[in-house]
Structure 1
């Protein structure tokens, strides 16, 4: 198991940076101990990949997001699904060995900004470890799936903490962080003993209010100097470690990528400014104690959701004639960093996309900020890259033989603006969004701009970045990148700005990736040429992986659309056309065709809405619209084919129960949280009034479309923007 594998690596003197790639087993979510998503297997190559077909599939029994890469050890596949479900399968046949479904507090859905995602399991010492959405860490018996121990990773259940990342094994410890920076969380990472689940140490990434007592460790005393002492400590500060935890046996060090600040704008969060350590940083921690060895801040004073939580690759790279142990990291902020693992010194920093928050980095790796370009608290600004990130959670693959980094890159910006000047400071909203910032992505900007207040619209139209928007609203590409220069050896466009894809590279010169359009693609690693395409009918975002059992090489990938913006399903996605039933698809040479799901039925015209209640006014409807976007739109974007209900299509019985659903938690077992602590009866009535008006307008539009014979799922009637 994984603990034994790590021990063997250490005994053999195999450092993480040797990055030899995975072999017959795929014992880590990233394949090898360095997280390279690279395989040494060569049975499937350019000469025979045309014969690739389905070996077996497994229905995951869900219809939400799938972001995990499976682990295979000794012929058994372990993988996770949304909420923290775990599946153990025979890796050769797909036969189910056991399934684990955690008892999740579904109120956690309210604090899940980006769907019910889970990014994988860790296997060590006969245990399979997984984090559930509500923050519970489970250790399961690898043979039976029985719970061996569980640990509550949440320090304060009155705040919006969730867990979505894969645990990381580090010797006799397992580490996990939490999500929630958009809500009211204070970030940290915790180490537990694999043997019994007891806490070994915890490292907070953000200082607490100095008025409440001493900081937990000296590293936080140092960080406090970079924060205003009158910061909005009540909101937590953000800095959650929701992914990107890597253990390096060579230095017995754990590297963590730290998330964004909360609230977003530093003017609100830390009024007198400062770099706000350890936000948007990579921090190296001593495995045994959690003490800081070094830190490097990739985005000082983050105000743009530029998390550093994107997957890292540990590799040995030659820089200026010397081979150095390095971290390859492409966070949201638009740059690719090569960082010395021993010292924390940046060795190379190269831009991947258009950026206007900085004009680059100096020789010491310090960002040369351009604050007037992006200080949206002083007026609306178009910021590049967007808060969605030039790179995000979807893993890159690194081929050490070709010295190429295969990654999906999104060149896109967003309009950002805060409350109007003179608006009273917003109190903390418990377990709810506290970003206090409006975002509109540039592909949608020209469509949304006419709907914005005139004072905002006039300022936006004068911004110089509007020319960037007009020239190229976005580009979305899979690239083969030289990590020392940032230059692409080749690049291929992907279908749309919501496409996102993890990658797999193999020693036989292949690159595997999926698309949300439902295709599994295989490309030549040297040229990007498409060698094989399999239409699965299921959206694919997760990174594929490969393994070998009894001499047969397999390639596996999970299917399912979701994640950030999950309520808005693009019309070019398989999820839009076929639904979002989640499957694990496993391929081999001379396999069978993939059976696609049946197409979704033709939509019917929206039902007539009930009459408005007495006393409903235009002002009340407008108030309801604002409350909807503040609290509901992140899930219910009210877009056709959404994975969450389109609330413009409610049936009479749902209208009758609207208050009980929203305030009282009537549908809590199904994942709809209750809002009685934040929304009054009058607030809910206002939201309902606006939805009734929207349903009436939608029905009128659809009746006209039906009369002309046009399909009701035409993209033009998806009238609400998710921002």
Structure 2
């Protein structure tokens, strides 16, 4: 429902349509996910420069007390910022005053409250705001009033699909405006992925395209699915297959195509999903579809037969660049090369999870170049003749387990990168962290997907130490495929990136600082303490001739489950704010009072008689809680740390909260399916974790185990 809080001054309305979203030179508004169809996350505004950025100050800050997640990106049109926070609660904020104009809460379904991802963005088109909801709905709101225009259910009731990504809108060659949305869910059960387009004015469906083939006995929806089925083996359809397009989608007006970035397999373990091998199209791919009809045009698969959660759902950025290397032209078989080195090429710039940076020809889908962005051990290189990665031995956990770089979090995840046509560089929020994969005890002949074993891998129950990963802001030259500069940032996660024509790169950091870098050198030239860490993405726009920068801040998102790694910055539970901050030259506002960072102190509860056998069973039950409350019951900063809560010490109170939903109004979903025995097992597991103190010998054993895995992988790679 919509709630109007105050009226705003009337201003001439901008027309946001294909022409506006194709105009990369006009930085007045930021109406779409990446600002324009090119999705460069670049602003051509240059009022704020490296010379005067020291005068940049806070204009206003607005705290959102009733939402839990600000890992998102706003849009702005005509002096109003629109931001989707938490469970797709849309807020409209007046840029001039910082006051809330209206908000709309779609009231997410109870079951989907268990998803801690939040909504990553929204879009504006023709006077409407479009956003998805975790329970699978897509809706359009009147941008002036926040009232619902239409709503449609894009998923099946009670399935494992959910929406966390931003829709995209364009007008097709037939004059009909389309809004496209995908979904997530491949990590949580049986999911066969698809994207769907709807009429942007009415919400009526237009076309749907499936990402992976279904049961061949049922026939195929199109020739692309028939082709894809030849790359699968076994009975993959029993598990769904996966391929979810939960983030990256880009419309290309020049070719009238929409490019879809697809996700990982379901289950992750390819030996169970497709036991006879195969590339498993169209997992982990960039797929080009006709924007009017949804017909397949081409694809490029970044990770054939993927088995590590190496999504290609990260940014798909459109650019026209000169490829200086004549071999790059030859690698694309001359298509679209104009026959000469240095000729302009229409390309896609893509940095998926797997650690490589790809330059792909937009006309043909042929690979131009691919190079490692950082530490990558799962593959040696990408063969430009075949377009395929050359894998290292042992990375598919053939011996039951493997340690690889990057891990399932990827070298680049969903926080957007930015491409500056001024510098020719791509600015990437990068991080380095290993992935541990273990499928011992899982036989393709007998394995069945269950709620406790969706991925086909052994669960990971240990805390993740704060030094297990690192992060950086990486400036990359897509022409030379080389690093221009790299600056370390605190922790192992960082926010999305904004580059501007003023020669600046802005990023929110996990330590609570909002930072501006010199785009040419990486040097920090300005910083501001936001009072809380951020994984959201900043935007820039102009109102009344003044350039503004807006950034969401609030410590929540998919990376919050990594225990001590996520908790290291001291953003605890609900103590710290979720806020929207806006800056301009000459801003002199002050932040609202903000608690300092703090660390959790677990409660021992000495009167609680711990039963190790019950705690071991509770470890498996706790899998339902890990997304919000963190691995090993070490909260990463979103939900309360259960080790420090009094509630689990009382069976009655714990049951009331966990099973009966006593705290649903505060965002804690209920788990009505849990039995009395499972509640008690959970209690014992939480108490066990609260009392746990690893010995020096345990730390040494764990470290040497992972070192041994790395040595074994190196020896295999060397042929020993």
User: Contact conserved, 1:415 with 1:441, CA < 8 A, in 2?
Assistant: no
Quote the residue 1:437 is aligned against.
457
CA separation in 1, counterparts of 2:567 and 2:677?
35
CA distance 1:578–1:428, change in 2 (3 Å): closer
1:644 corresponds in structure 2 to 639
> Which residue of 2 is the match for residue 56 of structure 1?
60
Q: CA contact under 8 A between 1:140 and 1:148: conserved in structure 2?
A: yes
User: For 1:602 and 1:218, how far apart are their aligned partners in 2?
Assistant: 56
Q: Residue 65 of structure 1: CA displacement?
A: 2.6
The worse-fitting range, judged by mean Cα deviation, of 580-589 and 617-626 is 617-626
- Contact 2:560/2:636 (CA < 8 Å) preserved in 1? no
Q: Which residue of 2 aligns with 1:388?
A: 409
CA-CA distance at 1:590 after TM superposition: 1.4
Secondary structure at the aligned position of 2:185 is classed as coil
Structure 2 equivalent of residue 408 of structure 1? 429
Between stretches 347-356 and 416-425, larger displacement belongs to: 416-425
1:583-624: per-residue Cα shift (whole Å, max 9, x none)? 100001111254251236786762636645xxx854333222
Alignment match of 1:6 (pick from 13, 17, 22)? 17
2:244 alignment partner in structure 1: 240
Provide structure 1 residue ranges, at least 5 long, that are not aligned to the other structure.
11-15, 448-471, 702-715
Report the equivalent of 1:419.
440
Q: 1:553 to 1:74 in 2, by over 3 A?
A: same
Matches within 5 A, 1:4-403: 4-8=15-19, 20-62=24-66, 64-110=68-114, 112=115, 115-154=116-155, 156-171=156-171, 172-184=177-189, 185-211=191-217, 213-231=218-236, 233-319=237-323, 320-370=341-391, 372-376=393-397, 378-403=399-424
Shift of 1:207: 1.2
Answer yes or no: is the 8 Å Cα contact 1:209–1:229 preserved in 2.
no
Q: Distance in 2 between matches of 1:480 and 1:443?
A: 32
Of 121-130 and 406-415, the range deviating more from structure 2: 406-415
8 Å Cα contact 1:107/1:671 also seen in 2: no
Q: What secondary structure, in the 3-state scheme, does the structure 1 residue paired with 2:36 have?
A: coil
Candidates 590, 596, 604, aligned match of 1:599 = 596
Deviation string, structure 1 residues 43-87 (Cα, Å, up to 9, x no partner): 111111101111111122245332222211122221211111111
Which residue of structure 1 lines up, in the alignment, with residue 680 of structure 2? 685
Aligned to 1:575: 571
Aligned equivalents of 1:429, 1:421: Cα separation in 2: 12
Partner SS, residue 626 of structure 2: coil
For 1:574 and 1:50, how far apart are their aligned partners in 2?
A: 28
State the Cα RMSD in Å.
2.9
TM-score normalized with structure 1 length: 0.85
Over 3 Å counting, the alpha-carbon distance change for 1:433 and 1:326 in structure 2 is: farther
Change (3 A) 1:424 1:667: farther
SS in structure 2 at match of 1:376: coil
**Distance in 1, Cα, partners of 2:20 & 2:645:** 57
Deviation string for 1:421-452 (max 9, x for gaps)?
A: 6698453335x76113247699948x9xxxxx
Number of aligned positions between the proteins: 657
Decide whether aligned partners of structure 1 residues 2 and 420 sit closer, same or farther in structure 2, where only a CA change above 3 A counts: farther
Q: 1:530 Cα deviation (Å)?
A: 1.1
Inter-partner Cα distance in structure 1 for 2:430 and 2:597: 31
CA distance, structure 1, for counterparts of residue 169 and residue 207 of structure 2: 14
Contact 1:106 1:670 in 2 (8 A): no
Deviation, structure 1 residue 134:
1.2
Equivalent position SS for 2:17: helix
How many angstroms apart in 2 are the aligned matches of 1:201 and 1:524?
A: 44
8 Å Cα contact 2:572-2:638 kept in structure 1: no
1:301 to partner: Cα distance: 0.4
Task: Specify the alignment match of 2:625 in structure 1.
Answer: 632
SS at match of 1:686: helix
Q: Distance in 2 between matches of 1:561 and 1:487?
A: 32
Equivalent pair of 2:212/2:241 in contact (CA under 8 Å): yes
Contact 1:104–1:134 (8 Å) recurs in 2: yes
Aligned partner of residue 490 in structure 1, secondary structure: strand
Deviation at 1:405, TM superposition (A): 0.5
| In 2, Cα distance between equivalents of 1:545 and 1:379 | 45
CA contact (8 A) 1:358 1:368 kept: yes
Alignment correspondent of 2:480: 485
User: How many angstroms apart in 1 are the aligned matches of 2:319 and 2:519?
Assistant: 19
Structure 1 residues 273 and 442: alpha-carbon distance in aligned structure 2, compared to 1, 3 A threshold: farther
Aligned equivalents of 2:445 and 2:313: distance in 1? 32
Quick one: structure 1 residues 234 and 21, their matched pair in 2 at CA, closer, same or farther if it must change by over 3 Å?
Answer: farther
Alpha-carbon distance change, 226 to 130 in structure 1, aligned in 2, over 3 angstroms: same
Asked if structure 2 preserves the Cα contact closer than 8 Å seen for 1:579 and 1:600, the reply is no
* CA 8–428 in structure 1, closer or farther in 2 if over 3 Å, else same: same
Contact 2:16–2:124 (8 Å) recurs in 1: no
Residues of 2 paired with 1:509 and 1:101: CA distance? 38
Distance 2:606 2:25 in 1: 58
Q: For 1:574 and 1:648, how far apart are their aligned partners in 2?
A: 15
Structure 1 pair 442–323 and aligned structure 2 pair: CA distance change class (3 A): farther
In structure 2, the residue corresponding to 1:566 is in which secondary structure? helix
